[in-house]
Chains A and B, each alone.
Chain A
Amino acid sequence: MPVPGHVGSDYERLRPDFRVIADPYVTGKRVMVVPAIRPDVAIVHAHLADQAGTLLLEEREDDALLAQASRVVIASAERIVPTDEIRRAPSGVRLESLHVAAVVEAPRGAHPTAVRGAYDLDEPHLLAYMAAAHDDVTFKTYLDRHVFGPVTWDDYLAAARPA
């Protein structure tokens, strides 16, 4: 895909997969082209989903684009609802189920980040994560408590609650 700019930057040197070609159409000037990214798997979190995997995604993010670029899409959603509720939603981006391989209900599933209109980011948690990430020992403690320890989603939410 062509991208404006970039030519003359160190991306030319650092990214041999970024090529510079002559614009074959209008200007004839040099333009950078980059390979499309095709992720194997995209994991997206939706406002709503139905049982077939139709998603209502956040309209200010690029989740719908990411999902369509990827070979396999796994979705979580704040709520699983009847299809009608997704059709009637006043905002959000609808992604048809044919793009989606699996869907699971996960209320507060964006934690510790936010879902617009539903809940804010968990700032104390993110600050604790940043502090823990400074060294391997404290980071392992974090992972054990929040990633490897919880067995169910309820376990995760319980561990995420401030002590």
Chain B
Amino acid sequence: MTPPSESETMAVAISREVRDGDTVAVGTLAPVPAAGALLAHLSHAPRATVLIFNHEDYWPFRQGSKEFYDYAQRGNFDLFFLSGGQIDRYGNLNLITIGEHDHPTLRFPGGAGAAMLYYMARRVILFRMDHTPRIFVERVDTVASPGTSPADIVRLGGPWKAVTPLCVFRFDQTTRMLAVESIHPGVSPEALQRRTGFPLELGAAPAVTPPPTREELALLRGRVRESLAKTYPRFAETVFSSP
């Protein structure tokens, strides 16, 4: 069997965060979280409610995105996925601008629902398909959605994990910062630190992400890929290895 690709390792890491019975929703432009949610649903989480944006089998909303956002605002999502142009060690997300806000060097499309979903989904997994010191920074330039909030604001959830091609971070509720939970197989601690823009506590022998099992890879490359092709045809075609 072909060894797992970075995307496959990430999808499997994400799938292991889905609990049976969760309501898990996947927004736009998120094929790897969608693959992870589908994998979980087809393996250890058959009673999960899986919602994947505009997927013909997994998107029940028929009153536009309003229905989706209203449903999310009621705190109905146990698990959601967000990304950012910058993500900092405090779990802050930047989806607005890089540089001086009025004279930015880069302008992103904007926060869209992130500033609500980060508060109202119970557990949020952050994901990036690349891991560089320009993305994982000490402090984001502009905060579209903060990692934590004071107690006088209604906030039901927030950052839970962050999954990248190099590692899994967990969000430490005590320090309120990202901490390395495990490094993916084949990635050295030195490389991980070099490609991260804030200091990491890696210890003498950091944990290694358990690699995908044969069963997980077979499902990913078979039924998950088949289902994902309905909404991410190009991704399904190019990213997964052959069964």
Contact A8-B149, Cβ < 8 Å, known A14-B96, A64-B64: yes
> Within 8 Å CB of A5, what residues of B?
115-120, 145, 155
In the bound complex, CA of A23 to CA of B101 (Å): 30
Q: Would A8 and B116 count as touching, CB distance under 8 A?
A: no
Q: B154 interface residue, CB < 8 Å from A?
A: yes
- Please report whether the interface of chain A is mostly helix, strand, loop or mixed according to DSSP: loop
Classify chain B's interface size. Answer: 20 to 34
Q: Would B152 and A29 count as touching, CB distance under 8 A?
A: yes
Q: B198 interface residue, CB < 8 Å from A?
A: no
In the bound complex, CA of A3 to CA of B143 (Å): 17
In whole Å, how far is A87's beta carbon from the nearest beta carbon of chain B? 18
> Within 8 Å CB of A11, what residues of B?
111, 115, 144
- Please report whether the interface of chain B is mostly helix, strand, loop or mixed according to DSSP: loop
In the bound complex, CA of A99 to CA of B54 (Å): 27
Q: Would A8 and B146 count as touching, CB distance under 8 A?
A: yes
In-complex Cβ contact of B54 among A8, A10, A60 (8 A): A60
Q: B150 interface residue, CB < 8 Å from A?
A: yes
Classify chain A's interface size. Answer: 20 to 34
Nearest CB in chain B to that of A14: its residue: B101
In the bound complex, CA of A5 to CA of B120 (Å): 7
Contact with A along B109-149 (1 / 0, CB 8 A): 00100011111100000000000000000000011111001
Could you tell me which residues of chain B, from 56 to 98, have a CB within 8 Å of some CB in chain A? 59, 61-66, 73, 96
Q: Would A4 and B154 count as touching, CB distance under 8 A?
A: yes
Contact A4-B116, Cβ < 8 Å, known A9-B143, A10-B96, A30-B152: yes
In whole Å, how far is A13's beta carbon from the nearest beta carbon of chain B? 8
Q: B153 interface residue, CB < 8 Å from A?
A: yes
Q: Would B64 and A65 count as touching, CB distance under 8 A?
A: yes
Q: Would A60 and B153 count as touching, CB distance under 8 A?
A: no
Q: Would A29 and B66 count as touching, CB distance under 8 A?
A: no
In whole Å, how far is A18's beta carbon from the nearest beta carbon of chain B? 10
> Within 8 Å CB of A9, what residues of B?
111, 115, 143-146
Q: A6 interface residue, CB < 8 Å from B?
A: yes
In the bound complex, CA of A91 to CA of B142 (Å): 42
Contact with B along A11-37 (1 / 0, CB 8 A): 100100000000100010111000000
Q: Would A61 and B144 count as touching, CB distance under 8 A?
A: no
In whole Å, how far is A46's beta carbon from the nearest beta carbon of chain B? 14
> Within 8 Å CB of B116, what residues of A?
3-6
Residues of B with Cβ closer than 8 Å to A? 54, 59, 61-66, 73, 96, 101, 111, 115-120, 142-146, 149-150, 152-155
Given contact pairs A6-B115, A14-B101, A30-B152, enumerate 7 new A-B contacts (beta carbons under 8 Å).
A4-B116, A10-B143, A11-B115, A27-B154, A29-B154, A60-B54, A93-B63
23 cross-chain CB contacts under 8 A:
A3-B116, A4-B73, A4-B119, A4-B154, A5-B115, A5-B117, A6-B115, A7-B149, A7-B153, A8-B153, A10-B96, A10-B101, A10-B144, A11-B115, A29-B152, A29-B153, A30-B152, A31-B154, A60-B61, A61-B65, A62-B64, A64-B64, A65-B66
